[in-house]
Amino acid sequence: MKQAQKDYDHLQQLSRHSRILTGIGHLLDWDQETYMPDGASGIRSIQMETLAGIIHEEKTGKKFVNALSKLIDIPKGSLKTKELSGEQVAALKEWRRDYLKEKALPKKFVEEFARLTSQSILAWRSAKKENAFQRFAPFLDKLVSMARKKADFLGFKEHPYDALLDQYEHDITTHEIAALFSSLRKNVVDLLKKISKKKQINDDFLHGSFSRDKQLEFSHRILKDMGYSLNFGRLDISAHPFSSASHPTDSRITTRFHPTSLVSCISVIMHEAGHALYEMGLPQEHYGSPLGDSISLGMHESQSRWWETRIGQSKAFWKHYLPHLKKQFPGPIEKASLESFYKAINKVEPSFIRVEADEVTYSLHVILRFEMEKALIEGTLSIRDVPEMWNAKMQELLGITPKDNTEGCLQDIHWSMGAFGYFPSYTLGNLYASHFFEKFAKDHPDWEQRVSSGDLLFINEWLHHAVHIHGRRYTSKELLKKVTGKEFSANAFINYLNSKYEDVYNLK
């Protein structure tokens, strides 16, 4: 074996060790949200902190630096060998990038940030509960200034928000996001205006009282059809649904039950299974190397939103499943036609929070957050103006105004966690999914027919070969280009929304 190959194997082995510990951390997280007794929360934080400490040491320690330095010049980024394959070279670059990021934040800063966010989460909870923005404001102020400092530590070329974005989505700038979101914003706002002039869709038959066990049974049926194997995963209940993988052979999901909404649980499990199938599909031989890891939060979201919206809210899907649904849940739904059911589950209605948003208004919540975060980081928006700006943007984008700050700028946990730069991933996921979907539909012109007959496995197969098996060989944009042959843009998603909702709302 050549020396470079030996060095590469050694590097992967070291990296695998900390990856295994990261996987153990995911399991502890999973347990915390599912089965952990409440009284164990104190020791659980200590366990997580202990693992995180070891992982950070391993990822920045001498052993790792020496192993990486043998193959790549860390400061310059230039390769020291020509004997490695293209994918190995790609892996080295990602390893270097991860290392630089891991090293960039001083330990003292990380600890200070962790302390601030844990206090901020508590402050946010109480502020939200009592609609008292002024109680959260001083924390938000500190969080923004810490995030700004973080950007300096991480480094950026154009805009400090670039560095924050880069934590979740590599290789995309604030400038690019702004351009994507600007075309999207215009189009969606126009579409929403057209829809609002139409008669509202009746979806009464989707609401009622639905047995938990039957919902679970139906969920399991869909999971199986999607190719989600219970040999390598499981479905549990938690307050907030999530997917958590410690390894491709152990990729678990959770759901919550909506006692009065029939489709909510199905949407959730298809979404989470989309994430889980991505993790299950990562190449095990590269476990521990960037080639065995998912690309980004946005790419992950492309998989979950693909299953949730592109498949789970399609007419083809319900052509097959609606009769089964009617059998499982006898009641008002039995009288619904496929057409009226399809329209009902795709009903568009502005609401106050992303997690309850339909496909059309979803992006508007993300755009609002992006615009505000950008202004906060730039320093052009002061903390005390946040509630007013929030409400103004809600009115401008969605045509509704929150009744108070609890429903408005205090609605979710992201800011209190210091997660600035996170939100755009949600919409990037939708854009990526549509970009891929055009190619998928070309490769499988009969996809609707196959889905109508209950065949879903070929979809996962396609995603597996297009996305999963590459790990982090490519950036999101590179992969989108490689798979589809087209440069990434928001067009595919915009076209999809327009054409689908012209149909749903008879806009033509």
Catalytic residues: 272
**Stretch of 142-150, 225-233, 315-323, 456-464 lying at the interface with a second copy (CB under 8 A):** 225-233
Tell me phi and psi for residue 100, to 5 degrees: -60, -40
Interatomic CA distance for residues 171 and 475, integer angstroms: 7
Q: DSSP string of 366-414?
A: HHHHHHHHHHHHHT-S-GGGHHHHHHHHHHHHHS---SSTTTTTTS-ST
22 lies in the binding site for a second copy (CB under 8 A):
no
Separation between Cα atoms, residue 276 and residue 270, nearest integer Å: 10
For a second copy, which is the closer residue by CB, 31 or 455?
31
Whether 278 and 247 have beta carbons less than 8 Å apart is answered as: no
Nearer to a second copy, 13 or 449 (CB): 13
Q: Of the candidates 4, 27, 100, 381, which one interacts with a second copy according to CB under 8 A? A: 27
Answer yes or no whether residue 213 interacts with a second copy by CB under 8 A. Answer: no
* Binding of residue 353 to a second copy (CB under 8 A): no
Q: Tell me which of 6, 9, 40, 73 binds a second copy, using CB under 8 A.
A: 40
Q: Is 42 in the site for a second copy (CB under 8 A)?
A: yes
Q: Does 69 bind a second copy (CB under 8 A)?
A: no
- Interacting span for a second copy (CB under 8 A) from 148-156, 243-251, 355-363, 371-379: 243-251
Q: Among 288, 226, 227, 279, which residue's Cα sits nearest to residue 252?
A: 279
Question: What part of residues 247-306 is at the interface with a second copy (CB under 8 A)?
Answer: 247, 249-250, 252
User: Does residue number 216 form part of the binding site for a second copy (CB under 8 A)?
Assistant: no
Give yes or no for residue 498 binding a second copy (CB under 8 A): no
The minimum distance between CB 292 and a second copy, in angstroms, equals 12
Note whether 242 binds a second copy by CB under 8 A: no
12 binds a second copy (CB under 8 A): no
Residue 468 Cβ vs a second copy, minimum distance, rounded to whole Å: 17
Residue 8: closest CA among 282, 286, 293: 286
The answer to whether residues 376 and 146 touch, using CB atoms and an 8 Å cutoff, is no
Binds a second copy by CB under 8 A, chosen from 37, 330, 445, 485: 37
Angle at 426 between CA 498 and CA 152, to 5 degrees: 130
| Closest CB to a second copy among residues 38, 158 | 38
- Residue 52 as a binder of a second copy (CB under 8 A): the answer is no
Only segment of 86-94, 162-170, 187-195, 245-253 that touches a second copy (CB under 8 A):
245-253
Examine residue 158 and tell whether it contacts a second copy (CB under 8 A): no
Q: How many residues bind a second copy (CB under 8 A)?
A: 34
For residues 22 and 55, the answer to whether their CB atoms sit within 8 Å is: yes
Least distance between a second copy and beta carbon 282 (Å): 12
Question: Can residue 330 be called a binding residue for a second copy (CB under 8 A)?
Answer: no
User: Torsion-angle region of residue 485: left (phi > 0), alpha (psi -120 to 50) or beta?
Assistant: left
The encoded tokens of residue 192 equal: 């929403």
Cα distance between residue 469 and residue 460, in whole Å:
12
- Minimal distance in Å, beta carbon 166 to a second copy? 30
Q: What is the secondary structure of 113-125 as a DSSP string?
A: HHHHHHHHHHHHH
Interacting span for a second copy (CB under 8 A) from 46-54, 176-184, 199-207, 341-349: 46-54
Q: Based on the shown chain and the rule CB under 8 A, indicate whether residue 47 belongs to the binding site for a second copy.
A: yes
Q: Are 105 and 114 in contact (CB under 8 A)?
A: no
First to last CA, the chain: 65
Rounded Cα–Cα distance for residues 329 and 263 (Å): 11
- Kindly indicate which of the ranges 42-50, 98-106, 142-150, 203-211 contains the residues binding a second copy, using the contact rule CB under 8 A: 42-50
Q: Of the ranges 25-33, 102-110, 122-130, 174-182, which one interacts with a second copy (CB under 8 A)?
A: 25-33
Side-chain-side CA neighbours of residue 54 (13 Å): 15
Write down the least CB distance from residue 276 to a second copy, Å.
Answer: 11
Query: Which residue from 4, 5, 10, 17 is in contact with a second copy, where contact means CB under 8 A?
Result: 17
Cα separation values, 160 from 110, 152, 447, Å: 18, 7, 43
Closer residue to a second copy, CB minimum distance, 246 or 303 = 246
Q: Do residues 357 and 188 lie in contact, with contact meaning Cβ atoms separated by under 8 Å?
A: no
Identity of the amino acid at 111: E
CA angle centred on 179, ends 275 and 411, rounded to 5°: 55
Binding site for a second copy (CB under 8 A): 17, 20-21, 23-24, 27-28, 31, 35-40, 42-44, 46-47, 50-51, 54, 229-234, 236, 246-247, 249-250, 252
